[in-house]
A and B are shown apart, each in its own frame.
Chain A
Amino acid sequence: MNALITISVLAVLVLYLGLYKANKALLPVTLLGLAVALFFTINHWNVFTGPTFNDMMSYDNFAVAFSGITITSTMLILLLSKGYFEKISDHVAEYYSIILFSLAGILVMVSYHNMTMLFIGIEIMSVSLYILAGIRKQDFASNEAALKYFLMGAFSTGFLLFGVALIYGAAHSFDLEAIKMHLETNLQTGQAISPLFYTGVVLMAVGMAFKVGAAPFHFWTPDVYEGSPSLITAFMSTVVKTAGFAAFLRLFATCFYPLHDFWMPVILVITIITLFAGNITALYQNNFKRMLAWSSISHAGYMLFAIVSLGSEASYGVFVYAIAYSAASIIAFAGLVLMQANTGSDSFDSFNGLGRKNPFLAFTLTVAMLSLAGIPLTAGFIGKFIMFSNALSSMHTWLVVLAVINAVISIFYYFRVIVAMYFKDAERAELEIPLNFKVVLAISVVATILIGIWPAFLPNVI
């Protein structure tokens, strides 16, 4: 609650700082403000009494957990951005404040209790992202990314809104609890549920699948991820994706849960297609950034596991997975930004011989790739482990078998980076790694390994 206000005020404040040309103060002020927001968020843990603001929002532990992840990831990504936006344009303050506005939308998305708030949250986030994707005005790829993202995003929001409207028609309410009550009473009394409702659920599932980049609604992802500036891509593939899943999970786990038997097969099919589409296409990429984009699609597939097999551990699974995935992705994107800044290329070959020249960066990238591939003793393994055990306990054996095959496929492309860094020699200059990058890399690596070795370090906050 306080966190949301803090971030919104912070965004305006940052704009004013820009107006008064206090460019040096932008990053420290933003980070400080986010730290305060994080403090407010954590402070809110376990004090949930019920929905607030006329039942519009509910700051329960679920919201606290996901706000925590998204704020922390944003802080890490912004820490990487020192000197990054200056190279793109003169209007630096605007970028900070747009990212902050987007984060405000995300905070609404993870804590809504009413479908209108879900819509508003998604819109605040998306509109900011359309601008961020096109932040490099002169760059054709960036323009293409922004336009594509905008068109696709508008479509998906349309689906979502249509779904909301149909559900309102059937259940006469936007409130999650009221919709759930409507379903439960109808199911108990044997009254038929209006066909409008079923259509609405499917449309909302499609809309959410668009937002999290799940196949077959994923086609915008690679182009947008590739065209946007790398740090914005990092933000989109970690923070935005986490928020999308939190919203998705909240909707289906609390509100539509009584209709589980109806929508589960739909999500199941989406999950399987997502896994294969993401992994198999990633195999054929020659460029690190595009590989990360496709791999992020496959990770969406793993996270959908939680929604397929809704159990007591579903939220916890997404929570752990999102942390593991965000930490590893931030490392990967940090490596990408460094590589692009120094060599101007991000093909796998540009990583050749990095193991010898930059042992620390190579080591952190290796840990990140291993974590993304789900190798034990990294956070990624624990995330996959919880997801798989969840799915197995709800007897989705085939799904898990397919997922495991996909996990093996993913080894191929994640290991291409490792192979390039360590097994291939090339004459290259040492990359210069600024201090802020070192800090972010170190934090993320420590988190990845710590969660891998001792998962109890992450308490079950939800």
Chain B
Amino acid sequence: MNLLSVLVFSPLVAGLIVLVLPASLQSRYKYVALAATILQVLLSVLVWVRFNPSLGGVNNEHTLQFAEKLSWIQLNVGGDSRLQIDYFLAIDGLSMPFLLLTSLVMFVAVLSSWEITTNLKGYFALFMLLDTAVMGVFTAMDFFLFYLFYELMLLPIYFLIGMWGGVKREYAAIKFFLYTLFGSVFMLLIMVGLYFSVQDPLTGDHTFNMVHMMNPANYVDGSLFAKFSGQLLLGIPARSLAFIVLFVAFAIKVPIVPLHTWLPDAHVEAPTPVSIVLAGILLKVGGYGVIRICYSIFPEAALGYAWWIGLIGVVSIIYGALNALAQRDLKRLVAYSSVSHMGFVLLGIASVTAEGISGAMMQMISHGFLSVMLFFLVGVIYTRVHDREIANFRGLSQLMPQYTFFIMVAFFASLGLPGFSAFIAEAFSLTGAFKSAGVNGLIPRWMALGGSVGILLSAAYLLWTLQRMFFGQLRLSGGEPWRLLLTDVTIREKIALVPLAAMALLLGILPGVVFTQINTSVLDLVKLVNP
């Protein structure tokens, strides 16, 4: 059995164990989940160590690593056509870092699930199912398989928000579900179109293999998505339309302005662990999809729309930051800061330079750790007093000194203080954006400038919040009862927070840890997109 398969399906096994354990053991379910995530962290560290950074992957099947390919669905559907769908898992530099990110985030999310008290069996089973789906998305190399895992992520999140969420949970859950589904059903159509256009060079069957889709030579002459067939679809060149549809599907997940409105609602209503997973991993699925599918399969369309993608990135950065500035709910503030920070990912990708794409990858990983830390910290307050209005707290640093320390680390790291991962990530994305005008002329310099303004704004909203909530005289709207409830961070919370802070610091000081692993793949991707 392949290492990736174990990584993908071990949580599922844990979920099934939770399901069959009797209800009398329900206080133990969380330990099963915890064990599964610890195992996953160990496995992904093993993958990290055994990963060979000199192999690029991307559009070359021979340099993909840990590959496992089994024939899965081979349907003879009458006539000469045969449905060829493979169970094809593999990774390259573009997906490998996400495995470690996912397993760490899941570990933290399970630790923060201690606050969940109702219907534990359902909760942990769904959580483990979600874990499997996310791991599957990052490792699948067959479009059909990718799509299945992508859709499989939706249901657990839907139930997790809907059953364990806040007051308006029903609305938030269905909004999240419909937004994402709306993007992905159209993705399904493009996927089928690609399937009819691409042939496996060995067997001659149509195939869903993504690597084959990236090679223009595998397209059937004159087919819908063949590069030079010039087919129109609904009046637009087919390949451009396909790129737009796929981009929108993933951009909803990222999310971009103006398709971001599900995010604040989902975050506010979701319980802390779900917020953690949403911010830490699911947003990255969007960015990963843009790189892996939109850019790799439709490179020329990507170049054509680079200006627009850059613009969307800048608008998201600034609009998200301005919105964060105006929020009164701490969790909403963090949610909007996510929108802002994910804008850098798009800006970096749009530049199609090695710096920009490395920066985007780094930003996704860094934001993965930092947003998880932020949401976890918000959850700490919320579980204690069930309130997170910024105005209701003041001078918390006197009451919770250790908590304030972690908040300061998270805030300063997020606003791009040198020495932390976000600084490296944003600096690289912006460098790429600056450089692009001179190298390939894809995005103008003012977009990079706009991105820098975003950093400034993020300093404004984070520092202002710090000032309002943590400094000054201790004043709580809940009075004495709150003062007793607001105890400092516990050991369990520290176990979750310390690795996150350590990762942010480590990646800030030694960014090479990530960069060396992804460099070959990033260069290959740049070469593929802009030869």
Contact = CB atoms under 8 A, between A and B. Distances in A.
Q: State yes or no: do A and B come from one complex.
A: yes
Interface of A: 311-313, 315-316, 356, 370, 375-377, 385-386, 388-389, 392-393, 397-398, 400-401, 404, 407-408, 411-412, 415, 419, 422-423, 454-456, 460, 462
B196 A393 contact: yes
Given A316-B77, A376-B152, A408 B185 contact: yes
Interface string B351-386: 000000000000000000000000000000000000
A398 B233 CA distance: 10
Nearest to B71: A456
A422 B174 contact: no
Contacts of A462: 78
Contact of A370 (B155, B173, B178, B193): B155
Contacts of A385: 188, 192
Nearest to B144: A385
A376 B151 contact: yes
Interface of B: 72-79, 81, 119, 147-148, 151-152, 154-155, 159, 162-163, 169-170, 173-174, 177-178, 181-182, 185-186, 188-189, 192-193, 195-196, 233-234
A455 B163 CA distance: 31
Nearest to B190: A392
Given A423-B169, A460-B76, A407 B185 contact: yes
A56 to B, nearest CB: 26
A249 to B, nearest CB: 13
Given A370-B155, A460-B76, A415 B192 contact: no
Contacts of A404: 185-186, 188-189
Nearest to B231: A395
Given A315-B78, A454-B73, A456-B74, 13 more contacts: A312-B81, A313-B77, A316-B77, A375-B155, A385-B188, A389-B195, A392-B196, A401-B186, A401-B234, A411-B177, A419-B170, A422-B163, A455-B75
A377 B41 CA distance: 27
Nearest to B169: A423
22 contacts: A311-B79, A312-B77, A312-B78, A313-B79, A315-B78, A356-B119, A375-B155, A376-B148, A377-B148, A388-B188, A388-B192, A392-B192, A397-B233, A397-B234, A400-B189, A407-B185, A408-B178, A408-B181, A408-B185, A422-B163, A423-B163, A454-B73
A81 to B, nearest CB: 32
By secondary structure, the B interface counts as: helix
A401 B189 contact: yes
A411 B74 contact: no
Given A312-B81, A411-B181, A377 B152 contact: yes
A392 B189 contact: yes
Contacts, number: 85
A359 to B, nearest CB: 8
Contacts of B73: 454-456
A22 B182 CA distance: 56
Contacts of A398: 234
Contacts of A407: 185
Contacts of A460: 75-78
B195 to A, nearest CB: 7
A205 B152 CA distance: 39
B227 to A, nearest CB: 19
Nearest to B77: A313
A385 to B, nearest CB: 7
B22 to A, nearest CB: 14
A413 B154 CA distance: 17
A448 to B, nearest CB: 14
Contacts of A419: 162, 170, 174
Contacts of A455: 73, 75
A312 B82 CA distance: 11
Q: Which 4 A-B pairs have the closest CB atoms?
A: A312-B79, A312-B78, A376-B151, A389-B192
Contact of A316 (B78, B193, B195, B234): B78
Contact of A456 (B75, B188, B192): B75
A201 B514 CA distance: 67
Contacts of B182: 408
A376 B159 CA distance: 16
Given A375-B155, A398-B234, A454-B73, A313 B170 contact: no
Contacts of A422: 159, 162-163
A455 B147 CA distance: 16
Contacts of A370: 155
Contacts of A454: 72-73
Contacts of B193: 392
Nearest to B192: A389
A400 B189 CA distance: 8
Contacts of B177: 411, 415
A310 B367 CA distance: 50
Nearest to A462: B78
A312 B77 CA distance: 7
